Structure 1
Amino acid sequence: MKGLFSACCLVMLLVLGTAEEVEDVLEPPMRERSHIDATLRLNEETKSDDYSATLQRLKKIYHTAVRPLEQAYKYNELRQYEITAYPGRTLASSATDGEITSKPMVLFLGPWSVGKSTMINYLLELTDSAHQLYTGAEPTTSEFTVIMHGEKTRSVEGIVMAADSARSFSPLEKFGQNFLEKLVGIEIPHKLLERVSFVDTPGIIENRKQQERGYPFNDVCQWFIDRADLIFVVFDPTKLDVGLELEMLFRQLKGRESQIRIILNKADSLATQELMRVYGALFWSLAPLINVTEPPRVYVSSFWPYEYNPETHKDLFLKEEISLLEDLNQVIENRLENKIAFIRQHAIRVRIHALLVDRYLQTFKDKMTFFSDAELVFNEIVEDPDKFYIFKSILAKTNVSKFDLPNREAYGDFFGINPIASFKLLSQQCSYMGGCLLEKIERAITHELPVLLESIGSGKNPTFPSCDTTGCGEKPKNRYKKN
């Protein structure tokens, strides 16, 4: 009867009323949003922190201490997805200045029409504006959309984003022109975007194959996952089924549990008892996919600009929304610390890779005789590295954790495209003026990057040893050269 009465009222308005009156009936009232500005501190006239000097120092450390070893041992050709021992944020290729200086990235993932685009519109006040992200009950987002700050609102094509070396998206060219046509950037002059960027992704459709998209969807998702500081995986109460594509997504998120936040959206569309059942069903569906002791944080609310359904727990939903905004603000506040920690983590991986290549090369040289077949000798080493203590020797001679060692099978492919003879021993990677590459990256890992990180909290300028105290001009002492 209630539905019939509403329909009758609507017909009456269509006959007797104006278009504006009809719109008022159809559209629920907008809810107050001052908590967003307060939690994210968008209205505070605070002095912006000048991190340019720290970022310049970070870039210098990377280019002088980390990049040379990357290039010397071709770290960027080590296949990333096979390095299963490396949890968390990874960087398979050389970092660009754009990646080092880029803002924190928040990635939105999930099935189609769960409210990802609506949530971004809500946070950035784009709802009902000319520049809002398109939303609807059907699959609407077919592109990877990067929402970033700009002096005026405009769209940027994917090919332009990939060609601009000042941005951090140039590596996306490797996914081909078909993908670049599905990549779009939107620049908006919003205060929140001065400190963070959002990435909206196409919804997961379980009956669609990667080939139908025209580009490697999972590989593109992995690229964004590896660079995201915060990952929102959004669900709708009516779309809790787990299929092959969603399973693949959670396999790609393995090791990133600390960055993942699960969002059960549109919560005010359900009665309390039904919402409890859905919440339990969500955990039941995701339990096999998230195999960790402590599951990711789950936020239950309705992230859109309209008033909550009055017959639901709107106070709870508001508290959940504020908690999520605090989470987002924490990522923004810690952006520089996270960047330094990321570069240090990357430097550790580059160092381990260089040590392993050096050990493979030294073993090969030791095994070779005048009558040996070089190809047969090296194939034997690659096929059974444990026989020659390749990995165990790294653990014995250096302060390397066994949990940081990469997958040994990855080196079969690596040496398949990079002949062992194309590398030099670490003991030969030294120069009179420049010092040894290994010692430079070790100094960055153990001293320079920790000092830079400490300087952020103390507010003091970092101090590093000068050539007068370290003897930069002296002939370097090579600890790795055999006597």
Structure 2
Amino acid sequence: MKGLVSVCCFLSVLLLAIAEEDEDFVATVLRDRAHIDQTLRLQEDAPTDDYSVVLQRLRKIYHSSIKPLEQAYRYNELRQHEISAYPGRTLGASATDGEITSKPMVLFLGPWSVGKSTMINYLLGLKDTPYQLYTGAEPTTSEFTVIMHGEKMRTIEGIVMAADSARSFSPLEKFGQNFLEKLVGIEMPHKLLQRVTFVDTPGIIENRKQQERGYPFNDVCQWFIDRADLIFVVFDPTKLDVGLELEMLFRQFKGRESQIRIILNKADSLATQDLMRVYGALFWSLAPLINVTEPPRVYVSSFWPYDYAPDTSRELFKKEEVSLLEDLNQVIENRLENKIAFIRQHGIRVRIHALLVDRYLQTFRDKMTFFSDPELVFQEIVDEPDKFYIFKSILAKTNVSKFDLPNRDAYRDFFGINPVNNFKLLTAQCSYMGGCLLEKIEKAITHELPGLLGSIASGKNPNLTSCEATGCGETPKNRYKKH
């Protein structure tokens, strides 16, 4: 009997050891990545000629029709108040060619060690390669890491990225040297990076104050949020608490809700019943922070290179992963349309700003008399714009919606920096060679940019002459000549 008991004990220990070895084996089996290449169409050649022609045409329209009005009415001075004035995606003070031609940007945000860097490694297939981002259970990413395409693998320091005007990151220089030391770029040859740029961010640590980072963390996040085409906010089942820093981050998403995707990562670490409870807890935590009628899309899966844990909803996780990849591919496929719509929206804002400055200036001149105090007169106009129908008069203009009007308080600060007499009326912003600035931007908004968008939708290649490619001026028309 004792011998039989010993044999049974031995078999139990052996079976337990085999089971543990099987679990270790599952955790080290790499997942098939064929669906990633297929969904993102990485086997297809990236468009080059048509894409380049459209961007050249877009760049020409911006530089000839929008930028002159930006500079004439100092739109860049309004932009420091633009978060409250215009929630949503914005250009820099004056758009660089790098911003216009930049690839779609996907931003990864969330608490520390939820799998943001691991997810990027998985999507790019960097596991066990010299290119993979460092990951770990502790907070590992302390920098803003920009992963982009390059002919060879190399690392670029933040100070170099900010100094290169050909890139879209030169405006980051305003956040100071301490931040630039926490900014790093990684270039590598990869098919996906030919079409999109990934940005990995430091994890949110709720018990750390912003001052301890040495740079304005929330302001830097806002800069990337404003320019991101897709924002992945990543959580894992053990980090669902919402603290002050995460709450502030969600406030910065105002106007960008359509770009947000919530990811509940490491889902195969839970049993199905526990996963349902965690999913509900995640929504309960985020509901007060997302003030929209339609909740953001939530993806539930495990985004890492290893196979799913046994006895979990692997089919569900696979479908969720494919759905996320389709979402990402949609952003890539629509990159030209989004870029044109983005520049057009920016042009609308510049036009409205110019109309408002013109109206303030005209009202000021109408109210001034020989005995008036200029400062008191203009102060009254700025403090009570409704009394002088400043904003209501703009709504009477064509193509101006009340929902596009900026915050009127922004103009009190704007004119505090820029005296109203420093500007000219729009009627004076005309020249024989260049035409009128207002007419040019209105033509771009109503005809040129929609026409460029229509040419893409119809599959036609927009005409681009050598003159348009170089941005040279058009032959002026003699408006006094009889035809």
* Same structural fold, with TM-score higher than 0.5 when normalized by the shorter chain: yes
Cα distance change on mapping 1:342 and 1:303 into 2, 3 Å: same
| Residue matched to 1:269 | 269
Cα distance change on mapping 1:170 and 1:414 into 2, 3 Å: same
- Cα deviation, 1:91-137, whole Å, max 9, x if unaligned, reads 25111000101111000011111100000000111122222111111
- Cα deviation, 1:409-468, whole Å, max 9, x if unaligned, reads 0111111111111100001000011110000000000000001111112232336999xx
Q: Distance in 2 between matches of 1:87 and 1:423?
A: 26
Deviation at 1:216, TM superposition (A): 0.6
Does 2:33 match 1:64? no
Tell me the amino acid that sits aligned with residue 241 of structure 2: D
Tell me the amino acid that sits aligned with residue 474 of structure 1: N
Task: Give yes or no for contact 2:26–2:307 (8 Å, CA) kept in 1.
Answer: no
Tell me the amino acid that sits aligned with residue 117 of structure 2: S
Alignment gaps of 5+ in structure 1: 14-20, 477-483
Q: Distance in 2 between matches of 1:327 and 1:261?
A: 9
Q: How does 1:454-473 map to 2 (within 5 A)?
A: 454-462=454-462, 472-473=476-477
| Residue matched to 1:42 | 42
Q: In terms of mean alpha carbon deviation, does 128-137 or 446-455 score higher?
A: 128-137
Cα distance change on mapping 1:26 and 1:462 into 2, 3 Å: closer
| Residue matched to 2:176 | 176
Does 2:329 match 1:325? no
Tell me the amino acid that sits aligned with residue 185 of structure 1: G
Cα distance change on mapping 1:159 and 1:364 into 2, 3 Å: same
User: RCO greater where, 1 or 2, for CA within 8 Å and sep 6 or more?
Assistant: 2
Does 2:421 match 1:430? no
Q: Distance in 1 between matches of 2:461 and 2:257?
A: 34
Q: How does 1:381-400 map to 2 (within 5 A)?
A: 381-400=381-400
Task: Give yes or no for contact 2:81–2:410 (8 Å, CA) kept in 1.
Answer: no
- TM-score normalised over the length of structure 1: 0.91
What SS does structure 2 have at the residue aligned with 1:172? helix
What SS does structure 1 have at the residue aligned with 2:28? coil
| Residue matched to 2:55 | 55
| Residue matched to 1:18 | none
What SS does structure 2 have at the residue aligned with 1:287? helix
Cα distance change on mapping 1:463 and 1:82 into 2, 3 Å: closer
Q: How does 1:84-163 map to 2 (within 5 A)?
A: 84-163=84-163
Q: Distance in 2 between matches of 1:191 and 1:292?
A: 36
Deviation at 1:209, TM superposition (A): 1.1
Q: Distance in 2 between matches of 1:278 and 1:348?
A: 43
Tell me the amino acid that sits aligned with residue 38 of structure 1: Q
Deviation at 1:210, TM superposition (A): 1.1
| Residue matched to 1:16 | none
What SS does structure 1 have at the residue aligned with 2:263? strand
Q: Distance in 2 between matches of 1:308 and 1:250?
A: 31
Task: Give yes or no for contact 2:27–2:307 (8 Å, CA) kept in 1.
Answer: no
Q: Distance in 2 between matches of 1:158 and 1:22?
A: 45
What SS does structure 1 have at the residue aligned with 2:258? coil
Cα distance change on mapping 1:355 and 1:311 into 2, 3 Å: same
Q: Distance in 1 between matches of 2:14 and 2:186?
A: 39
What SS does structure 2 have at the residue aligned with 1:78? helix
What SS does structure 1 have at the residue aligned with 2:218? helix
Cα distance change on mapping 1:444 and 1:359 into 2, 3 Å: same
| Residue matched to 1:374 | 374
Q: Distance in 2 between matches of 1:383 and 1:45?
A: 57
Deviation at 1:263, TM superposition (A): 0.4
Q: Distance in 2 between matches of 1:340 and 1:6?
A: 65
Q: In terms of mean alpha carbon deviation, does 71-80 or 172-181 score higher?
A: 71-80
Cα distance change on mapping 1:155 and 1:421 into 2, 3 Å: same
Does 2:31 match 1:31? yes
Does 2:185 match 1:210? no
Q: Distance in 2 between matches of 1:462 and 1:155?
A: 37
Q: How does 1:406-421 map to 2 (within 5 A)?
A: 406-421=406-421
Does 2:79 match 1:75? no
Deviation at 1:46, TM superposition (A): 6.9
Alignment gaps of 5+ in structure 2: 1-8, 468-473
| Residue matched to 1:474 | 478
Q: Distance in 2 between matches of 1:273 and 1:186?
A: 40
What SS does structure 2 have at the residue aligned with 1:239? coil
| Residue matched to 2:440 | 440
What SS does structure 2 have at the residue aligned with 1:205? coil
Task: Give yes or no for contact 1:40–1:329 (8 Å, CA) kept in 2.
Answer: yes
Tell me the amino acid that sits aligned with residue 128 of structure 1: D
Q: In terms of mean alpha carbon deviation, does 84-93 or 199-208 score higher?
A: 84-93
What SS does structure 2 have at the residue aligned with 1:132? coil
Deviation at 1:257, TM superposition (A): 1.2
Q: Distance in 2 between matches of 1:196 and 1:397?
A: 38
Tell me the amino acid that sits aligned with residue 270 of structure 2: L
Q: How many pairs are equivalent?
A: 462
Deviation at 1:45, TM superposition (A): 5.0
| Residue matched to 2:352 | 352
Task: Give yes or no for contact 2:53–2:464 (8 Å, CA) kept in 1.
Answer: no
Query: Alignment identity in percent?
Result: 82
Does 2:197 match 1:186? no
| Residue matched to 2:5 | none
